[in-house]
Amino acid sequence: MTALDLSSPVAVVGTGTMGQGIAQVALVAGHPVRLYDAVPGRAQEAADAIGARLDRLVEKDRLAAADRDAARARLRPAADLADLADCSLVVEAVLERLDVKQQLLRELEDVVEDDCLLATNTSSLSVTAIGGALRTPGRFVGLHFFNPAPLLPLVEVVSGFATDVTSATRAYETARAWGKTPVACADTPGFIVNRIARPFYAEAFAVYEAQAADPATIDAILRESGGFRMGAFELTDLIGQDVNESVTHSVWQAFFQDVRFTPSLAQRRLVESGRHGRKTGQGWYDYGDAAERPEPHTAEKAQAPAYVVVEGDLGPASELLALIREAGIQIREDEEDHGTRLVLPSGGQLVLADGQTSVEFRDVVYFDLALDYRRATRIALSASQDTAPATVAEATGLFQALGKDVSVIGDVPGMIVARTVARIVDLAHDAVAKGVATEEDIDTAMRLGVNYPLGPFEWCRRLGRIWAHDLLEELSLREPSGRYAPSLALYRHGHAADKREGTS
């Protein structure tokens, strides 16, 4: 099944930001486009707005003037749904209410031809439930564009329970012909991105609720150590706290209040207070004209240790050894295998976050996971109130000698980056096991949809097959709500590797 022919008219119903964006994508790709909105005059306003954006593209040399003129000629506001009768694809982008969408689709089905593809841009409702109102739900599919649609490449092509393979394939190929990067997924709460991205927000909020670190510090660690483009607090302020919390709540409810998707009470209070982020001038951060952005906690300068003793290979943090040598700090190796850690001159130990806590051990400082320890500009350390100050100082001085800022946070299991990545990896494996999408499509969706530095399976290959499972298992022992229990899919993934490698 191939993409729609460019001569085939495409319609968009609903002319808000997303509707206009989708219409612009189809228009620039070469289709005749119809715009319809139930509010009189809105379709014409939307057409004018799209025309103005095309003018700006010409001014920026991103679109030829002749192509703009041709696109304008193909764009037509529709006064009535009957004007969409000749369309080969109709995408609805109306209010996120099931009854509204179902009523619209019933009306469309009486207008368009039997071979017209019908689609929804919903981000939070079930494609299956929306399509359930149709006489022929096999031609109905989800086409979830990301905002702004003309700029962001990802499109989730969602098959409802009754969607025909031919319909899903045609939608997929059409999105690709429009210059987008489509990914195929089953109709599951949150689809790919909004399902698997929940821990990025949830774990940051959980660390904050545990009073282990403030928003500015958590955001800095996620950016400067984890390699994420934005931290969870600044990103949700940009999205809108009400919008982000609504999606989280929707996914949680759709999964029958699965504890893995439990919303944040701290975020709920923020929404209740009307602090919705940038759009209201106040969210986690203050956006007033005179407001100053809070700085992350950064440790004072400390003396670097003269040497460290390495035990084991440090696993995902093994590249630290080269950095330590380059900084002129002597590395001594302990031939006896006591684990994977660094021992400091004071006798204290420096251990990569593993889901355990410092308070359980004598003189242990944990350090967080980094996407790339060489390029990371900040490293987080955690210690308990019983950890010797000299151990914390030596650990701080060691990373400062490597050119890193250091943030010392509270004694939370799994720290920040490590627990976040482990949970994302777990949800990704669970999604594949349940037929939501392929590993490749999930990695693509998370990199393009939310700008993650790596897809979950790319992280997993880098960190090792059992790393996420083992960290979550330890974390689950310390927070036994079930939220951190590793999925059966992740368990099988690690144990299958053990068998192939001949271990028990």
Helix (H, G, I), strand (E, B) or coil at 471: helix
Q: How many residues does the chain have?
A: 504
Phi and psi angles of residue 405, each rounded to the nearest 5 degrees, phi first: -75, 150
What is the C-alpha separation between 422 and 496, in angstroms, rounded? 18
Residue type, 387: T
CB of 315 closer than 8 Å to CB of 352: yes
What is the C-alpha separation between 499 and 270, in angstroms, rounded? 48
123 catalytic? Reply is yes
Phi and psi angles of residue 184, each rounded to the nearest 5 degrees, phi first: -95, 135
What is the C-alpha separation between 1 and 165, in angstroms, rounded? 9
From the candidates 31, 88, 126, 144, which is the catalytic residue?
Answer: 144
At 35, list the tokens: 């715009």
CB of 388 closer than 8 Å to CB of 414: no
194 catalytic? Reply is yes
Task: Single out the residue of 316, 285, 310, 148 nearest to residue 219, CA to CA.
Answer: 285
From the candidates 92, 109, 156, 234, which is the catalytic residue?
Answer: 156
Cα separations in angstroms, 472 against 122, 277, 289, 491: 32, 31, 42, 11
From the candidates 88, 167, 194, 264, which is the catalytic residue?
Answer: 194
Summary count for the chain: helices (H), strands (E): 19, 15
CB of 302 closer than 8 Å to CB of 381: no
> Which sign, positive or negative, has the C-alpha torsion 113, 114, 117, 118?
positive
Q: What is the 3 state secondary structure string of 431-470?
A: HHHCCCCCHHHHHHHHHHHCCCCCCHHHHHHHHCCCHHHH
Task: Single out the residue of 202, 196, 313, 219 nearest to residue 264, CA to CA.
Answer: 202
DSSP 391-436: HHHHHHHHHHHTT-EEEEE---TTTTHHHHHHHHHHHHHHHHHTTS
CB of 12 closer than 8 Å to CB of 23: yes
The residues that are catalytic are 123, 144, 156, 194
